[in-house]
């Protein structure tokens, strides 16, 4: 990397850099500095704002999250949110639907909850809020930004929560809920054991499919929130097994 670009990064360590000033300080023309900034921005080292640049904000969200946070997921998350009471404790698992839920909680920011989570995106969303946030320990997976593994599972034993809030990768209405990651599955199973109520929030497209491992049977779960896309038969199966099913309009 060019010496000058390295210097720009140094300058940025303590906040915003203005193009005007920095160009003078580095003894180059504004155009050159702009070209440097563009390069650094492409490499995700900085973020260009109006008259300058700031350090690249370490978004605590996997790259994929933005695309997957659909309106439908927010609507589903919002429906569940209506059920949560002040001062309750909840465990928010990793995954985009759960993240949508965390964002709803943060946006509303009036329920003083105790939130336990293994998801850095969720913790990131909530740490400024009025909720108390507890993070499980463990190895940080850089792809999904969640904490899994034996330490996370062991930490879980220290807590009890009113609600477990989780998504799923696949679901069969007569058999249970699946995830495609074995370590996630292990953690989910454990978290079912520490929760008074378990809620699954998922869009209806997940039904009728299997994934690697089943982490919950139908009887493990108390409440399912999904969209109207779910087939009447699936809904009937679930209700018959004692789950409460909430469906939100698909258009919302």
Binding interface with DNA (CB under 7 A): 2, 4, 19-20, 27-32, 34-36, 38, 48-52
Tokens 């982490």 identify what position? Answer: 215
b/e code 14-43 from CB counts within 10 Å (16+ = b): eeebbbeebbeebeeeeeebeebbeebeee
The correct pick among 137, 180, 217, 219 for binding a copy of itself (CB under 8 A) is 137
The first and second tokens of residue 6, run together, are: 């390295």
Cβ neighbours of residue 48 closer than 8 Å, sequence gap 6 or more: 37, 38, 41
For the bound state, the minimum distance from the C-beta of residue 15 to DNA, rounded and expressed in Å, comes to 16
For the bound state, the minimum distance from the C-beta of residue 6 to a copy of itself, rounded and expressed in Å, comes to 9
Judge whether 171 and 213 are in contact, CB under 8 Å.
Answer: no
Residue 125 touching a copy of itself (CB under 8 A): yes
Stretch that binds a copy of itself, among 84-92, 150-158, 180-188, 227-235 (CB under 8 A): 150-158
For the bound state, the minimum distance from the C-beta of residue 72 to DNA, rounded and expressed in Å, comes to 28
**DSSP per residue, 64-81:** THHHH--HHHHHHHHHHH
Of residues 81-120, those binding a copy of itself (CB under 8 A): 103, 107, 120
For the bound state, the minimum distance from the C-beta of residue 33 to a copy of itself, rounded and expressed in Å, comes to 15
């Amino acid at each position: 990397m060019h010496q000058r670009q390295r210097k720009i990064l140094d300058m940025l360590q303590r906040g915003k850099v203005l193009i005007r000033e920095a160009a003078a300080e580095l003894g180059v023309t504004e155009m050159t500095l702009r070209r440097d900034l563009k390069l650094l921005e492409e490499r995700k080292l900085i973020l260009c704002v109006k008259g300058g640049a700031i350090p690249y904000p370490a978004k605590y969200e996997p790259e994929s999250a933005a695309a997957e946070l659909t309106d439908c997921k927010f609507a589903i998350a919002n429906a569940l949110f209506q059920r949560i009471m002040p001062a309750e404790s909840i465990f928010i698992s990793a995954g985009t639907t759960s993240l949508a839920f965390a964002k709803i909680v943060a946006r509303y920011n009036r329920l003083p909850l105790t939130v336990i989570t293994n998801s850095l995106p969720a913790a990131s969303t909530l740490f400024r809020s009025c909720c108390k946030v507890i993070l499980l320990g463990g190895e940080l997976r850089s792809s999904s930004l969640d904490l899994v593994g034996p330490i996370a599972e062991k930490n879980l034993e220290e807590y009890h929560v009113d609600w477990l809030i989780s998504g799923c990768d696949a679901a069969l209405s007569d058999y249970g809920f699946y995830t495609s990651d074995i370590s996630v599955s292990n953690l989910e199973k454990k978290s079912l054991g520490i929760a008074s109520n378990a809620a699954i929030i998922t869009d209806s497209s997940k039904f009728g499919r299997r994934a690697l491992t089943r982490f919950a049977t139908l009887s493990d779960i108390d409440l399912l929130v999904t969209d109207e896309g779910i087939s009447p038969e699936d809904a009937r199966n679930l209700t018959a097994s004692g789950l409460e099913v909430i469906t939100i309009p698909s258009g919302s």
